[in-house]
Every structure is written in structure tokens, then in C-alpha cells.
């Protein structure tokens, strides 16, 4: 019996963290355990009088027909050609930096080669869940083994791996970091591969620093850092001059064409470029990179208009397709379908999703205006915001590469070669330099790292950012005066949540409302669930009214979630109510996970009941328990002033709050056309003084508007603290 992977094998199998994978059998365990580490095909015994064929050393069974198909392709990959060199250099060095271009096969082949070379347990990290799943599936097929046994994967909510059998595990970088919570030397692995290291995600950066320390403690551990673009100096130097291996890719040539002179209106230039391609260049699909939803929808209508106006003159029409992550899945998937009508030229107008996360084959022309929205963090105001910025040279190369996946292509850069060299930074700023570090610091503390300032980050964050993070952890009760992790802090780190949300959950049983708080925590952890297509904005707003709790955006979110559950998580119902079903389904999963965690920690799951008049009051108090540092009081007309930082802000127009409460708590501060606070709830000022935190000690405030507002609030609510000078 051969195991032929079918379409079903691609489906995601779900199992809980500690249970064995589906269909695991003792016989396979036996086979694997008795197997030698080097995997050379052996001969199978003759069965049923048939001839003896080559036999899969991992299973002892004859190979399937699919195996031979995949094997042929795999042997043609550049990495396969270099296999001996790769294995040798990894075995001889503790750390190796492997630079393999797109199409080299590094992600599928390197881990397997190392397994076959005798490593006992290998983890290979991926920045994205979908990559971990699809690569693990591919490798299991290539090795002709069942997914979840020898080869498996672990991502949040899904563990398709076996504690004993799995020897090659693909895992999201965040998940491996979590594993280090249980085992801070990651001692089950003798080889750890960090893939896509050039993306420099927060988790990969923390893992790199952590692993550098672990390497010193565990002389048997080997590590491979795999990266696509040239950052050789940076990676090699960081890992004490680790050797660099370079494997060529298999890409088709891409002709790069720069603008001859600077472009001032890139949207206009994009449109001109599409016309030029459509009217003069041979058939082939076009991919355009823009910065956001609004720009994309605008461009789509301009291009559709052009297509309608000129279809007769130029023969084939354009099929214009938007692509950004907030789009419903069904709309996103259209970019993979054949064009409609069949003779049309597809024009995909995308955000950065198309740069790394979503790969579309068959693109011949790429148009790159050279901008993207980037998250920036300002530690002095503690505001994270999005800013349209020039992309990096690395990013520009990545975009260009999207044109040469299946055949030679052209990339039109709407900036001059001079600008490319002098105005674009060589590399993107790693995320760790652009983020609020509260959770990173808490993670490091939990991992037992005491000297945070000297933690060996590849790019150390600004001291100010670290200090701000520590200060916040202190106010939240996660660390004490000696900057030691408290019991509360340990619990907060367990939760896969922003620490403020974790704190809200931990305090919620005290307010008799942990049930609602868990729902809210899940809703705050997923993207905005309210859809508002420009054409149907009024209708969408009207639908949202059905869920409104007039003094709280937080409570409104809880009501939306409950209504979603009441309607059986129905997608159609979501569509009718302009709600993002994907985000809501995700919230359902998160909620389930959080509830289990709460129960395991012995925290009470309680609710005042849906009809209780004080239900939303309790919830708003829970919110304040986590977000007490994000309150604001009404100043004048439309303006609020944030406490402590005294920033003048407006209520975001998406808020359900129509009156002007004197005090509010908010979830986030956004900087767009103005300064806004978004996801807001009314609070009673007296609650501030009942919080178990020093944050509202009047002594902590300099003379100013905030202090005066607090003094007034204290006086009005009869707080004795107001008497303090």
C-alpha cells in the first residue's frame, strides 16, 4: 500500500497541542525509531511475487508514483545541485548564513538535506502561517511520508506534528519563540533554521538574539540563517563571522526600466504606464504596487474607465483586480483565476501583500512607484502610526522579481536610477526599530533575560523605546521596582495578546465580566470587522447602527461578536451586515483559546448576563484596567486631551459615541489627516482613582491641564487624594 497524497492531504488537519497526529500508527513509529540516520534508498522485499523496487528509507515502503514526479523536479533545483557542499559546511560550522535567491529551493530542500545528513530534530521557522503549512505539506509529499509524522508543522491553533515522530518541523517564528517559554534552550532541536531572515520580523529578531546565547550553552546545536537578499555582511558579522553560502536562484531575467526624470504624480504615471503597456507591449499580466485601499480602489476605477473607453480600439480589454488584505477571500482569489473574458489582460492593483505574502504566477509587467505604508513608532508620544514612505532597494528588487517567475518580464520603476541609488535606503528598517516594545520586553523577561539593555539584538532598539516599555510594564504591574517579573507579569506573558489586553483579562473576574472581556480581547486582536465599501458607505453605517451601544465602541464590538455567534457564524449574514467574516471567524478561534487559558489559570469565567443593566458598565471598567494609560478628557468643542502626554485629539469619526463624555478610555491613537483616538468608551472619572496602579497619583503630574482635570475629577467624586498638594 503506498500513500499517495491526494487533494485531501492539502487540507489542514487540526489537532490539539498534545494529542498525536491523526492516523498515527504504531508500525510507523517502530519503523522510524529503528531507522538509521542516513537515508539511502534500500531495496524493498519482494511482495506478492512482484519485482523488488527502490524503497522509501523513512517508511520501508515502495515509493508512490507521485514521489517520482516530485523527485524529478526537486533534483533540478539549484539547492539540490549544491547539496554536498551545503551539508558539509553546516556540519562543520555552528552557524551558517545561506543566501538563496527565489526559486533556489532552499525552504523545501535544505531542512530535508540536513535531516538526511543525520540531524535528529530540526525546526525551520517561517514568518507566515500559510507558508509553514504549505511547505511542510510539500516536503512530506516529496519525501513520500504522511504529514504530521516525520515531517510536520506547528502554527497557532494547529499542531500537525508528533512529539516523538516528527523530526522536521516547520513552525512560525512566533511559535518557536513560544516554545522557548517552556524550554529556554530549545533543547529538543539539534538544528534550527531561520528562514526568510531578511524579513526581520519581530519574532525572528528576538529569536536570533536568543539563539546567539543558546549557541554558547549548547555546543551541539547548529543553526542556519536563510535569507533571500544580500545582507551578507550584516548577518555574517552578527553571527561572529559565520560562513556564507550562496545558492543561485532560478529566475527569468527582468528588464528594469527607470523613469528618465522625477515623477511628481505617481498615480497619473501608473495610469500612463498601463496604457503604454496595453497599447504597445505583447500579452502578459500587469502587477501594480500602491500604498493602500483607497488608492487601489481609485486606480481600479480609472483603469476600468480607460479599458471601457478603448476596448474596441485595442482589442483585448483589461480585467482590473484589486488586491489587499482587507478584501474578502473570495475577491482576493480572483487574481488566481483565468482572465475574464479569456482574451483580457489582467491588471492587479495591490498593496505590499503581493510583495511577499501572495505570489501570483504569470506576471510579466510590474509597475513600482516606490512607495509603501510603513509603521512607525514614536516613543516620546507612544504612538504607532502608518506613514507613506519610500521603499528600500531590497524591497524594490523583491517587487521587480515578481515579474520574472514564469517567464522574462519588465519592471517599470517610476523613479529615476539616481533616486534609486541615493534616495532609497538599502534595506528596510527592521520592525523592532519601529514598534512599541512592551511585548518584546515582557517576552525576554519571561525567557529569563535580565540584562535587557545589553541583550544582543542585531539592531538594538533605541534606549528610549526600551525605557518606555519598562515603564509601562511597571505601571501594568508586570515588573516590580527592581524590574523583576511579577507573578502577574508571568501570567500576562502567557497570553498571546498585547499586554494591556492581557491585563484587562486578568482583572476581569473582579468585575464579574470575564466572559465579555474575553470576547472583547478576541475582537481587539483581529482586524477591523466593519466593512465600509465606498459605494455603500451609508448602507454600511445604517447596518452598524443595529449593534451600537451608544457610550462604548468596545461594547459594540462585543455585541457584533455575539450576534455573529447567534447567527451561527453565517457568512451570508456577515455580508448583509457589512461585516468581515474572516476576521470574525478568527475572533471565534482566539476567543476559544483565551477561554481555555483562563480556565487553566484558574480564573473565573463569569458574566452579569445579557440583560443585566450594568453589563456594559462592568465591561468599560475592565477596559480601563488594561488601558488606564490611554484615557483622555474633554477640552473644548471636538477636542480631547490625552492624559500624561497632553496630546490634543479628536474622536475618530468611526466611533459610535455621539455625545461628548467628559472622560474616555481609548484603544488606539491614530495619526492620519489629524490626531484621532479610535475604539473609545466613556468612563467615570472616579474609576481612575480606584485602579490598583500608581498611574493616577496626582504627585506624578506636573502642573498643567491634565493635573487640573484630575484634581477637578477627584473633587467632584469626593476623592480624598485631591487634598494632596
| Coil, strand or helix at 1 | coil
> Furthest-apart CA pair in the chain: how many Å?
98
Among 5, 127, 339, 370, binds DNA (CB under 7 A): 127
Q: Which is nearer to DNA, 221 or 327 (CB)?
A: 327
DSSP of 448-499 = T----TT---SSPPPHHHHHHHHHHHHHTTSB-TT-PBPHHHHHHHHSSS-H
User: Minimum distance between the CB of residue 655 and DNA, rounded to whole angstroms?
Assistant: 8
Which has the closest alpha carbon to 349: 316, 314, 306, 406?
306
Among 56, 59, 109, 203, binds DNA (CB under 7 A): 203
Among 5, 174, 477, 661, binds DNA (CB under 7 A): 174
Find all residues with CB under 8 Å of 63, minimum gap 6, and list them: 2, 53, 54, 55, 56, 144
| Coil, strand or helix at 314 | helix
Q: What are phi and psi of 386, to 5 degrees?
A: -105, 135
Which of these segments, 234-242, 412-420, 522-530, 607-615, binds DNA (CB under 7 A)? Answer: 522-530
User: Minimum distance between the CB of residue 52 and DNA, rounded to whole angstroms?
Assistant: 43
User: Minimum distance between the CB of residue 171 and DNA, rounded to whole angstroms?
Assistant: 8
Among 22, 527, 692, 704, binds DNA (CB under 7 A): 527
| Interface with DNA, residue 717, by CB under 7 A | no
User: Minimum distance between the CB of residue 218 and DNA, rounded to whole angstroms?
Assistant: 23
CB-based contact 99:232 (threshold 8 Å): yes
User: Minimum distance between the CB of residue 175 and DNA, rounded to whole angstroms?
Assistant: 4
User: Minimum distance between the CB of residue 695 and DNA, rounded to whole angstroms?
Assistant: 23
CB-based contact 166:238 (threshold 8 Å): no
User: Minimum distance between the CB of residue 80 and DNA, rounded to whole angstroms?
Assistant: 28
| Interface with DNA, residue 324, by CB under 7 A | yes
User: What is the DSSP secondary structure assignment for residue 335, as one 8-state letter?
Assistant: G
| Interface with DNA, residue 556, by CB under 7 A | no
Q: Which residue(s) pair with 650 in the sheet?
A: 639, 676
Among 604, 672, 723, 724, binds DNA (CB under 7 A): 672
| Interface with DNA, residue 129, by CB under 7 A | yes
Cα separation values, 540 from 547, 550, 572, Å: 12, 17, 15
Give residue 348's Cα distance to chain centre.
Answer: 23
User: Minimum distance between the CB of residue 136 and DNA, rounded to whole angstroms?
Assistant: 13
Q: Which is nearer to DNA, 469 or 497 (CB)?
A: 497
| Interface with DNA, residue 130, by CB under 7 A | yes
User: Minimum distance between the CB of residue 81 and DNA, rounded to whole angstroms?
Assistant: 31
Separation of alpha carbons 355 and 423, rounded Å: 20
Cis peptide before 341 (omega within 30 of 0): yes
| Interface with DNA, residue 104, by CB under 7 A | no
Site string for DNA, 642-661 (x = CB under 7 A): --------x-xxx-------
Among 486, 496, 573, 686, binds DNA (CB under 7 A): 496
Q: Which is nearer to DNA, 213 or 496 (CB)?
A: 496
**Residues in binding contact with DNA, number by CB under 7 A:** 54
Cα separation values, 533 from 294, 372, 437, 655, Å: 10, 22, 34, 17
Site string for DNA, 357-386 (x = CB under 7 A): x--------------xxxx----------x
On the 0-12 / 13-18 / 19+ scale of CB atoms within 10 A, 484 is: exposed
Separation of alpha carbons 499 and 480, rounded Å: 15
Residue where the block lists cell 490598583:
692
Q: Which is nearer to DNA, 243 or 650 (CB)?
A: 650
Binding to DNA (CB under 7 A) within 243-272 occurs at: none
Given 3-state DSSP classes, what are the helix, strand and coil percentages for the chain, each rounded to the nearest 5?
45, 20, 40
Q: Which is nearer to DNA, 189 or 371 (CB)?
A: 371
Q: Which is nearer to DNA, 155 or 208 (CB)?
A: 155
Q: Which is nearer to DNA, 562 or 668 (CB)?
A: 668
User: Minimum distance between the CB of residue 333 and DNA, rounded to whole angstroms?
Assistant: 13
Among 60, 292, 328, 460, binds DNA (CB under 7 A): 292
| Interface with DNA, residue 670, by CB under 7 A | yes
| Interface with DNA, residue 681, by CB under 7 A | no
Among 61, 178, 490, 510, binds DNA (CB under 7 A): 178
| Interface with DNA, residue 389, by CB under 7 A | no
Which of these segments, 87-95, 187-195, 321-329, 409-417, binds DNA (CB under 7 A)? Answer: 321-329
User: Minimum distance between the CB of residue 346 and DNA, rounded to whole angstroms?
Assistant: 19
Q: Which residue(s) pair with 681 in the sheet?
A: 552, 665
| Interface with DNA, residue 432, by CB under 7 A | no
Find all residues with CB under 8 Å of 226, minimum gap 6, and list them: 97, 98, 99, 100, 106, 107, 110, 193, 194, 195, 196, 197
User: What is the DSSP secondary structure assignment for residue 194, as one 8-state letter?
Assistant: E
Which has the closest alpha carbon to 135: 164, 143, 189?
143
Among 541, 570, 576, 614, binds DNA (CB under 7 A): 541
Among 497, 624, 656, 664, binds DNA (CB under 7 A): 497
CB-based contact 193:226 (threshold 8 Å): yes
| E strand residue ranges, 354-430 | 363-368, 371-378, 383-390, 409-413
Q: Which is nearer to DNA, 353 or 575 (CB)?
A: 353
Torsion of CA 661, 664, 669, 670, to 10 degrees: -20
Separation of alpha carbons 500 and 525, rounded Å: 12
Separation of alpha carbons 186 and 188, rounded Å: 6
Separation of alpha carbons 621 and 615, rounded Å: 10
| Interface with DNA, residue 487, by CB under 7 A | no
Q: Which is nearer to DNA, 325 or 717 (CB)?
A: 325
Binding to DNA (CB under 7 A) within 436-465 occurs at: 439
Find all residues with CB under 8 Å of 441, minimum gap 6, and list them: 452, 466, 469, 470, 473
Among 61, 91, 94, 128, binds DNA (CB under 7 A): 128
Which of these segments, 115-123, 507-515, 672-680, 698-706, binds DNA (CB under 7 A)? Answer: 672-680
Site string for DNA, 591-620 (x = CB under 7 A): ------------------------------
Cis peptide before 673 (omega within 30 of 0): no
Separation of alpha carbons 304 and 345, rounded Å: 12
| Interface with DNA, residue 571, by CB under 7 A | no
User: Minimum distance between the CB of residue 201 and DNA, rounded to whole angstroms?
Assistant: 6
Q: Which is nearer to DNA, 56 or 681 (CB)?
A: 681
Burial 81-92 (b: 16+ CB within 10 A, else e): ebbeebbebbee
**All cell numbers assigned to 449:** 533575560
CB-based contact 157:88 (threshold 8 Å): no
Among 137, 229, 273, 352, binds DNA (CB under 7 A): 352
Among 48, 182, 280, 673, binds DNA (CB under 7 A): 673
| Interface with DNA, residue 568, by CB under 7 A | no
Residue where the block lists cell 443595529:
546
Q: Which is nearer to DNA, 77 or 296 (CB)?
A: 296
User: Minimum distance between the CB of residue 494 and DNA, rounded to whole angstroms?
Assistant: 10
> Which residues of the shown chain bind DNA in the complex (CB under 7 A)?
127-130, 155-156, 172-175, 178, 201-203, 291-294, 296, 324-326, 351-353, 357, 372-375, 386, 439, 496-498, 525, 527-528, 530, 532, 537, 541, 638, 650, 652-654, 668, 670, 672-674, 676, 678
Amino acid at each position: 500500500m503506498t500513500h499517495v497524497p491526494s487533494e485531501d492531504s492539502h487540507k489542514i488537519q487540526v489537532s490539539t497541542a498534545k494529542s498525536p497526529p491523526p492516523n498515527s500508527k504504531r508500525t510507523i513509529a517502530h519503523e522510524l525509531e529503528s531507522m538509521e540516520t542516513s537515508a539511502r534508498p534500500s531495496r524493498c522485499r519482494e511482495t506478492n511475487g512482484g519485482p523488488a523496487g527502490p524503497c522509501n528509507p523513512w517508511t520501508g515502503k515502495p515509493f508512490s508514483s507521485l514521489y517520482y514526479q516530485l523527485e524529478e523536479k526537486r533534483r533540478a533545483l539549484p539547492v539540490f545541485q549544491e547539496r554536498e557542499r551545503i551539508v558539509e559546511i553546516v556540519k562543520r560550522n555552528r552557524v551558517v548564513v545561506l543566501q538563496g535567491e527565489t526559486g533556489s529551493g532552499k525552504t523545501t530542500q535544505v531542512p530535508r538535506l540536513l535531516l538526511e545528513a543525520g540531524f535528529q530534530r530540526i525546526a525551520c521557522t517561517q514568518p507566515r502561517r500559510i507558508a509553514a503549512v504549505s511547505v511542510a505539506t510539500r516536503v512530506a509529499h516529496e519525501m513520500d511520508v504522511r504529514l504530521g509524522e516525520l515531517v510536520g508543522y506547528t502554527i497557532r491553533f494547529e499542531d500537525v506534528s508528533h512529539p516523538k515522530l516528527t523530526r522536521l518541523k516547520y513552525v512560525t517564528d512566533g511559535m518557536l519563540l513560544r516554545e522557548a517559554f517552556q524550554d529556554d534552550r530549545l533543547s529538543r532541536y539539534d538544528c534550527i533554521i531561520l528562514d526568510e531572515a531578511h524579513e526581520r520580523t519581530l519574532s525572528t529578531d528576538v529569536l536570533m538574539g536568543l539563539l546567539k546565547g543558546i549557541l554558547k550553552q549548547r555546543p551541539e546545536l547548529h543553526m542556519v540563517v536563510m535569507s533571500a537578499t544580500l545582507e551578507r555582511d550584516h548577518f555574517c558579522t552578527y553571527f561572529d563571522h559565520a560562513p556564507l553560502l550562496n545558492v543561485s536562484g532560478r529566475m527569468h531575467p527582468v528588464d528594469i526600466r527607470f523613469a528618465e526624470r522625477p515623477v511628481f504624480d505617481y498615480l497619473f504615471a501608473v495610469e500612463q504606464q498601463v496604457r503604454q503597456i496595453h497599447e504597445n507591449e505583447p500579452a502578459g499580466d500587469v502587477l501594480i504596487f500602491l500604498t493602500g485601499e483607497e488608492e487601489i480602489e481609485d486606480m481600479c476605477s480609472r483603469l476600468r474607465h480607460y479599458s471601457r473607453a478603448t476596448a474596441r480600439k485595442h482589442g483585448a480589454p483589461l480585467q482590473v483586480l484589486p488586491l489587499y488584505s482587507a478584501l474578502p477571500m473570495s475577491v482576493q482569489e480572483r487574481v488566481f483565476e483565468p482572465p475574464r473574458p479569456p482574451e483580457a489582460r489582467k491588471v492587479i492593483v495591490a498593496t505590499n501583500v503581493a510583495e511577499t505574502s501572495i505570489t501570483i504566477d504569470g506576471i510579466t509587467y510590474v509597475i513600482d512607484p516606490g512607495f509603501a505604508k510603513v509603521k512607525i513608532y514614536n516613543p516620546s508620544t507612544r504612538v504607532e502610526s502608518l506613514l507613506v514612505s519610500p521603499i528600500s532597494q531590497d524591497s524594490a528588487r523583491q517587487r521587480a522579481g515578481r515579474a520574472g517567475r514564469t517567464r522574462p518580464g519588465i519592471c517599470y520603476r517610476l523613479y529615476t536610477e539616481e533616486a534609486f541609488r541615493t534616495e532609497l535606503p538599502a534595506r528596510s528598517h527592521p520592525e523592532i526599530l519601529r514598534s512599541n516594545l512592551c511585548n518584546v520586553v515582557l517576552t525576554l523577561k519571561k525567557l529569563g533575560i535580565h540584562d535587557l539593555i545589553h541583550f544582543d539584538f542585531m539592531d538594538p532598539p533605541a534606549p528610549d523605546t526600551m525605557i518606555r516599555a519598562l515603564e509601562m510594564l511597571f505601571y501594568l504591574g508586570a515588573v516590580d521596582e527592581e524590574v523583576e517579573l511579577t507573578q502577574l507579569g508571568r501570567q500576562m506573558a502567557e497570553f498571546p495578546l498585547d499586554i494591556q489586553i492581557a491585563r484587562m483579562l486578568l482583572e476581569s473576574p473582579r468585575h464579574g465580566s470575564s466572559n465579555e472581556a474575553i470576547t472583547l480581547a478576541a475582537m481587539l486582536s483581529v482586524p477591523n470587522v466593519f466593512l465600509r465599501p465606498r459605494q455603500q458607505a451609508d448602507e454600511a453605517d445604517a447596518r452598524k447602527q443595529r449593534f451600537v451601544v451608544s457610550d462604548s465602541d468596545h461594547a459594540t464590538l462585543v455585541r457584533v461578536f455575539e450576534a455573529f455567534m447567534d447567527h451561527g457564524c453565517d457568512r451570508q449574514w456577515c455580508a448583509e451586515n457589512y461585516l468581515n467574516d474572516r476576521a470574525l471567524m478568527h475572533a471565534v478561534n482566539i476567543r476559544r483559546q483565551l477561554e481555555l487559558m483562563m480556565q487553566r489559570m484558574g480564573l473565573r469565567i463569569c458574566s452579569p448576563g445579557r440583560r443585566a443593566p450594568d453589563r456594559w458598565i462592568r465591561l468599560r471598567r475592565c477596559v480601563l484596567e488594561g488601558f488606564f494609560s490611554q484615557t483622555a478628557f474633554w477640552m473644548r468643542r471636538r477636542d480631547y486631551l490625552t492624559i500624561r502626554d497632553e496630546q490634543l485629539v479628536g474622536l475618530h469619526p468611526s466611533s459610535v459615541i455621539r455625545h461628548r463624555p467628559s472622560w474616555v478610555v481609548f484603544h488606539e491613537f491614530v495619526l492620519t489627516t489629524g490626531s484621532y483616538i479610535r475604539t473609545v468608551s466613556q468612563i467615570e472619572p472616579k474609576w481612575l482613582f480606584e485602579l490598583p496602579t500608581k498611574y493616577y497619583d496626582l504627585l506624578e503630574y506636573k502642573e498643567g491641564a491634565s493635573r487640573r482635570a484630575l484634581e477637578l475629577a477627584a473633587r467632584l467624586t469626593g476623592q480624598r487624594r485631591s487634598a494632596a498638594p
